[in-house]
Amino acid sequence: MSDTFFSGAPHWTWFIIPYFYVGGLAGGAYFLAAILAWFGKPEDRPVVRAGYDVAAVGAIFSGLLLTVDLGQPLRFWHMLFQSENFPAVMFKAWSPISFGAWAILLFGLFSVLSALGARAEEGRLQNAALRAVGGVVRGGLAKLVSGVGGILGFFVAGYTGVLLSVTNRPIWADSPWLGALFLVSGASTGAAMLILLAPGRGAAQRSLEWLSSFDTRALVLELLVLALFLISLGSINRVWLSFWGLVLLVGVVGAGILAPLRLHAKPAQAARLVLLGGFLLRLATMLASEGIDRYRVAAGM
């Protein structure tokens, strides 16, 4: 039996599962927006703007979910500054939860800046102060912001899986592939969200085709990484002989990856399934591990 079965469950459930999902999706959407901002054409701008919006809303929502989940939400800032020694910074480069708190804060900042810049570009900002901020984020600066933000986006999408691996919990600490899996899933769900939202923002057909073809490739990669993840689990795979195994097989692999791959002629339908699959992936990997209780393991139950 893996030594991970003797640890305790952290109860990361109904706030953290959506947090991991939304954070991944927001990071993936921003990454795609940044790619188009750097290498795309003027016709891609609506997708870029939609990507920034998804990222900004997602980052703020993620921060809220993370905060509400704390046992002492008002002490959220203890992760950023030393509470007894303010304003000395609190940062542990070897602890994903520590550097992740900084990453989500910075990602929020960058995505809000980009979103404001994009809105100023469209002339959609009424508030003078916001218009002034948005007006600054243009041209070379906008590109720089999106470049750094794109990297932060992927960081946020992937660190959640790394965070789970840097524990002593079953499944999570038993495979080195969870960070990669969550990151690829963040990219595929980010693309899916943009496929659904960008048409409303006036996206060109060419940009949407690019999103769809990217999503198809990302799903193939996701399937590959999922396979590597399961192979690396070895004998731990017996935990999937449960309801969560069914969710993984039917919900994640079937509905979330294989069905959208078959449906790629109908991008909107495929995108909805990708979004569902991404959520079920977080749900199954989190709750399958959460359900393993140390004392029951020791008692052979």
Site residues (CB under 8 A) for other proteins, limited to 75-134: 75-76, 78-79, 82-84, 90, 92, 94-98, 101
Q: What does the alpha-carbon distance between residue 94 and residue 103 come to, in Å, rounded to a whole number?
A: 14
**Binding status of residue 242 toward other proteins by CB under 8 A:** no
Of 172, 166, 161, which is closest to residue 278 (Cα–Cα)? 161
Closer residue to other proteins in complex, CB, 268/298: 298
Q: Is 203 strand, coil or helix?
A: coil
Of 100, 108, 229, 107, which is closest to residue 158 (Cα–Cα)? 100
Distance of CA 263 to the CA centre of its chain: 23
Which of residues 48, 145, 152, 225 is near other proteins by CB under 8 A? 225
**Binding status of residue 248 toward other proteins by CB under 8 A:** no
Closer residue to other proteins in complex, CB, 101/115: 101
Q: What does the alpha-carbon distance between residue 169 and residue 223 come to, in Å, rounded to a whole number?
A: 23
**Binding status of residue 210 toward other proteins by CB under 8 A:** yes
Closer residue to other proteins in complex, CB, 217/238: 217
Which of residues 106, 109, 136, 221 is near other proteins by CB under 8 A? 221
Cα 298 to Cα 291, 293, 295, distances in angstroms: 14, 9, 5
Q: Are the C-beta atoms of 133 and 142 separated by less than 8 Å?
A: no
Which range, of 48-56, 141-149, 172-180, 273-281, touches other proteins by CB under 8 A? 172-180
CB of 124 to other proteins, least distance (A): 27
Closer residue to other proteins in complex, CB, 3/122: 3
Residue 166 CB contacts under 8 Å (≥ 6 apart), including other chains: 95, 96, 173
Closer residue to other proteins in complex, CB, 79/196: 79
178-197 helix and 16-39 helix, angle to the nearest 10 degrees: 70
Span 145-164, contacts to other proteins by CB under 8 A:
154, 158-159, 161-163
Closer residue to other proteins in complex, CB, 39/139: 39
**Binding status of residue 13 toward other proteins by CB under 8 A:** no
